[in-house]
Amino acid sequence: MEPPLAKMGSQVRQAGRGTLPTHTVEQSAELRVGVQRARVGHSTIYKHFVETGLMAKEAWEHLNKNPELNVTELAGSCPVCPGAANEDERVSGAESIEALYKVLLDVPRDLEKHMPKLRELAAMCDTVTEVSKRRESTVALAAALPAKLTSYQTEEPAFFNNFDDWLGDTEWTRRVADSPSIEAIEETDMLFIDSTRHTYDRLTAELSKFGPQVGRFIVVHDTKLHAEKGEDGGPGLLAALRTFMTTNPEWSVIEHTDRQYGLTVLGRLDQDKPKLPNTLKMAANFAKAVADHVVQAGERAARTN
């Protein structure tokens, strides 16, 4: 996979013309690293991101300490996500979890496109746990109204104070914490992971520590953005998932999408895993593959003669 920092070219030149679209911090890092190559001044990039409000000044300073490694935002709130600086009036005006869910679906950040899938999976579970840095995951999981939702969350939007009233019979527990400070989790049907550090070592530690307590689904975000290369330059998230599944063969990938930085779903139960075709179907597929191979070989032979 081409690393994010390799995608320079036209994006940098667009920034120089003032036509660059809304960005994440990873895209800003690409521009920052590629400034000299594209012949766009440092001040041009600063003006585009900081002076227009797309990125907080502290996030820019964090990025500039090491543009190649500091490509994810600071822990806590998301100052660089579109719509994050000032909450939409619709967000603060929502009067139910369902209303809030629908609003956040239309507020562009870096997780809202995965909210329907998170809700769908959580609706299949009684107990759900998240280790997250995004309000969107908490809202999506809560909207499914599982029997119990435990949230280890670094973001603290004001509307979390309404959850006790909004979630009905759901047992809702929240703790402001990132994964290194979490000693253990209770048994849970589903675990969502989107912590503040996207590296092989961090995800491996999370899966080792939390995985044995999960009964059905493990869902990991950013598996496209940091697929084979972590933000520390080492192996990425997919390598950590492969290691986990090698030592825990009961788990396998049941869904994956590259959309919005990537989302990968591991399943533990056979009922959730794709079914293999029956013996007749497999035999038919094999016969077709052999026939296609013979035909292709014959065509190649005819061309050489």
More confident residue, 40 or 161: 161
Domain-by-domain residue ranges, the chain?
4-65, 95-272, 278-305
Percent of the chain with pLDDT over 70: 61
User: Is the pLDDT at 195 greater than 60, yes or no?
Assistant: yes
pLDDT of residue 2: 38
Q: How many other β-carbons are positioned within 10 Å of the β-carbon of residue 17?
A: 9
Query: For the chain, how far is it from start to end, CA to CA, in angstroms?
Result: 40
pLDDT band at 269 (very low <50, low <70, confident <90, very high): very high
CATH topology of domain 95-272: Rossmann fold (3.40.50)
Segment 135-139 mean pLDDT: 97
Q: Name the amino acid, one letter, at 144.
A: A
Beta bridge partners of 132: 153, 194
Mean pLDDT, the chain, integer? 79
pLDDT of residue 280: 65
Segment 35-53 mean pLDDT: 57
Q: How far is it, in rounded angstroms, from Cα 172 to Cα 164?
A: 7
Task: Using alpha carbons, select from 81, 65, 83 the residue that is nearest to residue 73.
Answer: 81
User: Is the pLDDT at 101 greater than 70, yes or no?
Assistant: yes
User: Is the pLDDT at 24 greater than 90, yes or no?
Assistant: no
pLDDT of residue 303: 65
Lowest mean pLDDT among 33-37, 115-119, 122-126, 183-187: 33-37
SS (H, E, C) the chain: CCCHHHCCHHHHHHHHHCCCCCCCHHHHHHHHHCHHHHCCCHHHHHHHHHHCCCCCHHHHHHHHHCCCCCCCCCCCCCCCCCCCCCCCHHHHHCCCHHHHHHHHCCCCCCCHHHHHHHHHHHCCCCEEEEEECCHHHHHHHHHCCCCEEEEEECCCCHHHHHHHHHCCCCEEEEECCCHHHCCCCCCEEEEEEECCCCCHHHHHHHHHHHHHHEEEEEEEECCCCCCCECCCCCECHHHHHHHHHHHCCCCEEEEEECHHHCEEEEECCHHHCCCCCCHHHHHHHHHHHHHHHHHHHHHHHHHHC
Lowest mean pLDDT among 48-62, 111-125, 214-228, 239-253: 48-62
pLDDT band at 54 (very low <50, low <70, confident <90, very high): low
User: Is the pLDDT at 271 greater than 60, yes or no?
Assistant: yes
| Residues 210-221 pLDDT 10s | 999 999 999 999
